[in-house]
Amino acid sequence: MAIVLQWPWMGIAIPCFLIGGIGYPAHFFIFKDRFSVQKQVIYQLCLTMIWISYYLACTVLPGSPPKGYKSELTKGRKVWKRYCKKCESDKPERAHHCKTCRTCVLKMDHHCPWTMNCVGYKNMPHFLRFLFWVIITTGITFFELGKDLVQYYKDRNLPSYLISKSKMALVIVLSLMNLVVLFSIIVLFLREVYHIVFTGRTQIEGWECERIESQFYSERFWRRIKKNYKKVHGKKLPELTTWKNAEKVHYEMDYLQEDADQLDESQRNILSSPRNPKTISDHQSIVPETFTYDDLVFPYDLSVYDNLVETLGPVYTWLLPWGGPRSDGLKFKRSDDAEDQLDLPWPPDGEDSYEPGDYELTKTYDDPQEEESHSGAVSTNVTEEVNDNDNYIDSDNDSVSSKVSDLFKGGKYFDNRLNLERTEWMNDFGENLEDFGVDIDTERTTHLRNRSQTRKTEN
């Protein structure tokens, strides 16, 4: 869960106290007598790099789209076109509006209370370097203080007057403080590195993937996928085939059936009601039986090396205080994965909206007539899909259907998060979008200019 400080300035004061309160007393009162000049210089250099990287992490802004930014059409590129009602401009891909900074943040990772700043595209390298230098410095401190603690244990039978009690107390206090900082920063650093290096995701995108995995076998999720597929490709969703693990599909579907088999007679009567459009067989049939979450392709996950370069910039700048990515943060390199059967913009369920027209696909065509014909075909297909599902959507207000929905909440997949909206869903740690600093009011509904309105405005 995110930490909320009553006084935001404490987010700066506490790290400064820990950096100065551990590093300098450890050096001048404990290490100075046994460190060579070279070791002392190295230790002070590490402390200095902490201060520099922390200052930059606090003061360098993560980057925001230009005022009045409008998404540009790029040939062959699929992204959801989103609009921020508070900034009154389009949102670039991977950007979110921060409720604390009150602006859209490029490639937003999270809002950090310990830097009083958002961590995003332009200052992520400074944030990671800060964590790195803290780990290096506290690691050295832990090793050196550990040697003192071991020596005190070996000398436990010596007369007390041979041991400096004040120095021993300082060693114990600094060791405890240092251990807490070292452990906390290692956990945060590993979490960031895992997302960036091995998945190409920000923390928000990692949370998004957890949400999709949690709701993957829900009827509601696949209704949105089908609708989005028609919107993007102008045709019905084809039969999907797993590339990963066919046995997992059967296991998941069997577990789904076990949940349904556990219903008692009264619950089955509700399901068999003629007023209820949602039956057990319907629930299972809409979820592909030969497709798993592992078959989804996250479009921004490149190779390990490319993921690092996209985040930190060229290799030779990774440890330099001024190193960082070279692009503008408005568009990002994508993986060319032939196994992407859906080929939908991320997230595939269209974020938090499934009403037709809420999102506009950013794609261009060489021939204007082709664009018009495609747009018309897609619009027709989407309308047909909505009409097909009218009974389903309207039935959510029906008392019988509400009871049915309650039945699908007891098992592994039918938990109480299965049908939650994106702005309400929480992961296993209890984190929702707000805990990463996102202003959920800007994520709920997206209002867009349609293409005809855009042309009139431009003309």
Whose CA is closest to 184, among 129, 135, 122? 135
Catalytic (active site) residue 112? yes
In this structure, the number of other CB atoms found within 10 A of the CB of residue 130 comes to 27
Task: Show the tokens assigned to 445.
Answer: 């509904």
**Residue at token pair 């309105």:** 453
What are the phi and psi torsion angles at 443 (to 5°)? -105, -15
In this structure, the number of other CB atoms found within 10 A of the CB of residue 271 comes to 20
DSSP β-bridge partners for residue 103: 98
Catalytic one of 46, 112, 118, 209: 112
Gap between the Cα atoms of 226 and 288, Å rounded: 11
Say which amino acid occupies 182.
L
Gap between the Cα atoms of 168 and 170, Å rounded: 5
Gap between the Cα atoms of 153 and 68, Å rounded: 65
**Residue at token pair 């509006």:** 97
> Could you give the count of Cα atoms lying within 13 Å of 56 in the half-sphere of its Cβ?
20
Which amino acids are annotated catalytic? 112
